Amino acid sequence: MKKLLLSVFTAGLGFLSFSQTVVMGVSPSSIAVSFDYTLGETSFGANNFTTEAVIAEAIFAEDGTTGTDVNGHPLSHRGCTAFTNAAAMNGKIALISRGECDFGLKALNAQNAGARAVVVINNATGMINMQGGNSGPQVTIPAVSISLADGNILREALAQGPITLLIGQKLGAFANDVSVAKADVLTPRYMTHNFLLSSSPNAPVGMVVRNSGSSTATGVTAKISLVNEANVAVYEEELGPYDINTGDSVKLLPGSTDVFPTLSAATPVGDYTLKFEAIFANDDLAADNSVSYKFTSSNTGWSIVNLSGEDNIGDLTSGIRPATQVLTEQLFCNQFRDANASNIQVTGFHSSVSVNTGDLEGKSITGYLYSWNDVFTNLDDAGIALTNLVQVGFGEYFFEDAVQSADFHLAFEEPAVLVNNQRYLVCIGSVDTNVFYAYSTERDVARNRALEKEVYSIQQTSQWYLLGFGTDYNLVTYL
């Protein structure tokens, strides 16, 4: 579930207990992943979500409406009137498209048709928060929302045959079930590493392995590997085996009893796969036993997210803006800091923006590079502030084409020479409140923040928010 702003994460040691609520595919294997989701307001759709699990076949609502929406999907999937496929829906999970009527009415119609849970699929990019409307208080089954992109994954799978989803409390849903989650892996800070800064990421890595099964998981091994394009592992380490009680986890992070070696292998320019695995022979749901990321070593760019920096940024990201808009310029920033920063000059950065109404023609985007000179140790420092920012780079980009989204390169007026170990903020902004900024949700940096206690993506609207939109939303700026 997405969380908005200002949550502080801390790290502990050893084994820990947990609760785990998910929206994930069970079968076929092509959808056996966890999907990002949002719940409705507290009076609607959250019933029993954290305490029970619904594991069932999922099918689309059919309400008899003819025609298609702007995405080419049947209007009958909106579920705004009584379902014509109620007999088929009974005992299943209802997939419903956003649009036309209140979320609560959609969920109530699904409930009346015998559905055990509801998944509302957005009809535009990004995530939504569902309001129940007049029908919401009558809904007693779980109701969640997922993105258009994830909904399309389910649509494609359904075209090939039946699909099964798990919605709710995963703990105890299967007898044998260990897992690794995005929020539980420690990755290099920069997933696009600049080889000119150093020949190796030289970064701590780690993971947490969780046992969601109802039985003790015995003989679990944890493995981290970095594999190059020739399928050769330049880093490959295993820890374990471990016996993990139901509801417990084993932490393999810096400060724990068992720790993975630093990822210090040389990474010549190229693409790599960074994989975190929990190896458990008896797993009933092996699809969530690993997390993989693309890692790139580049001689042209530097970013906390993995991007080529040349194109397709918008295809890999979600457009985000604050729910509360202000008329002054809003800034969205990433912190950059490196012991060898003086090896490079910054001439600008790549990013992407979009609008959901009208187009970008005539709009402008401003870019800044600030030297962050406030003196503090880390996020735990009570003296942390953003009052001493010195501008060392500036540029503007003007859109000439009538398009709704675009990747661009914003060039600074003058190249900026960086200083070793100096904190910098690279920021993007506009006075236009209709502009959405490119954020990547590929990884969650919760473990990084807990260990480093450093800023990643932040924003300034009416004030500075040091945790931005959350640890799983990372602003795309490719220096």
Question: Cα angle vertex 262, ends 260, 263, to 5°?
Answer: 110
Report pLDDT for 302.
Answer: 86
What the block records as the tokens of 406 is 């675009």
pLDDT mean over 296-318: 70
pLDDT for the residue numbered 316: 56
Section 336-362 average pLDDT = 90
pTM: 0.82
Upstream peptide bond of 254 is cis (omega within 30 degrees of 0): no
Three-class DSSP category at 182: helix
Q: Which tens digit of pLDDT belongs to each residue from 420-459?
A: 999 999 999 988 888 888 888 788 899 998 898 888 888 8
Distance of CA 267 to the CA centre of its chain: 25
> CB under 8 Å to 328, separation ≥6 — which residues?
431
Whether the pLDDT of residue 260 is over 90: the answer is: yes
Which range has the top average pLDDT, 139-148, 258-267, 291-300?
Answer: 258-267
**Cα 423 to Cα 421: distance, rounded to the nearest angstrom:** 6
Please check the confidence at residue 3 and state whether its pLDDT lies above 50. Answer: no
| % of the chain exceeding 70 in pLDDT | 90
Instruction: Tell the burial category of 333 from Cβ atoms under 10 Å away from its Cβ (0-12, 13-18, 19+).
Output: buried
What is the per-residue pLDDT for 172?
87
198: CB partners within 8 A, 6+ apart? 339, 340
Residue 5 clears pLDDT 70, i.e. is over it: no
Mean pLDDT, residues 324-346: 83
Q: Residue 13's pLDDT band (boundaries 50, 70, 90)?
A: very low
**Which residues sit opposite 39 in a β-bridge?**
144
> What is the band of 2 on the pLDDT scale with cuts at 50, 70, 90?
very low
337 has a pLDDT exceeding 70: yes
Which residues are 474's β-sheet partners? 440
Residue ranges of E strands in 327-388:
330-336, 345-355, 364-372
Mean pLDDT over the full length of the chain: 87
In the chain, % of residues over pLDDT 90: 56
Question: Is beta strand 117-121 parallel, antiparallel or unpaired with respect to 143-146?
Answer: parallel
How many residues are there in the chain?
479
- Residue keyed to tokens 């009809």: 123
Give the closest residue to 4 by CA, choosing from 322, 317, 444, 304: 322
Q: Would the pLDDT of 10 be above 60? A: no
What pLDDT score does 8 carry?
Answer: 23
Residue 188's CB is within 10 A of a number of other CB atoms, namely: 21
Which pLDDT band, with edges at 50, 70 and 90, does 21 fall under?
confident
The string of pLDDT tens digits covering residues 126-174 is 778 788 889 988 999 999 999 898 999 999 999 999 999 999 888 888 9
Q: What pLDDT, on the 0 to 100 scale, is given for residue 36? A: 84
What is the tens place of the pLDDT at every residue in 377-407? 888 888 888 999 999 999 999 999 999 888 8
Helix (H) or strand (E) holding 186, with range, is: strand 185-186
CB 437 within 8 A of CB 332: yes
Strand partners, 97: 121
Mean pLDDT for 448-476 is 85
